[in-house]
């Protein structure tokens, strides 16, 4: 099964956003995953990966942040 990683910028206060997307991932995919890892980062990072493959990166997505779309993207990687 797969591991999802959510790296977020601590000084930017992105923890709440990271926990929110983690909750959505667990609600939808808990039984299909090995683990979900929150990684403390900085310099504005907010990146989500599945088995080291990036599925969302704030540096590219800008302000666009659709939790449902992110969960669907992750689901397509773990199916």
Q: Tell me which residues touch a second copy (CB under 8 A).
A: 10, 15, 19, 22-23, 26, 30-31, 33-40
Residue with tokens 């709440």: 16
Min dist CB 77 to a second copy, Å, is 16
Closest of 9, 15, 19, 23 to residue 57, by C-alpha: 9
Q: Give least dist CB 27 to a second copy, A.
A: 9
CB of 64 to a second copy, least distance (A): 25
Nearer to a second copy by Cβ, of 35 and 52: the residue is 35
Identify each DSSP E strand in 1-79 by its residue range. 2-9, 33-41, 46-50, 53-57
């Amino acid at each position: 099964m797969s591991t999802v990683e959510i790296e977020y910028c601590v000084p930017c206060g992105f923890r709440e956003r990271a926990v929110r997307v983690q909750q959505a991932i667990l609600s939808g995919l808990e039984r299909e995953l090995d683990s979900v890892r929150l990684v403390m980062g900085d310099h504005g990072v907010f990146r989500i990966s599945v088995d080291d493959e990036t599925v969302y990166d704030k540096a590219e997505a800008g302000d666009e942040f659709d939790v449902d779309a992110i969960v669907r993207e992750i689901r397509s990687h773990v199916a």
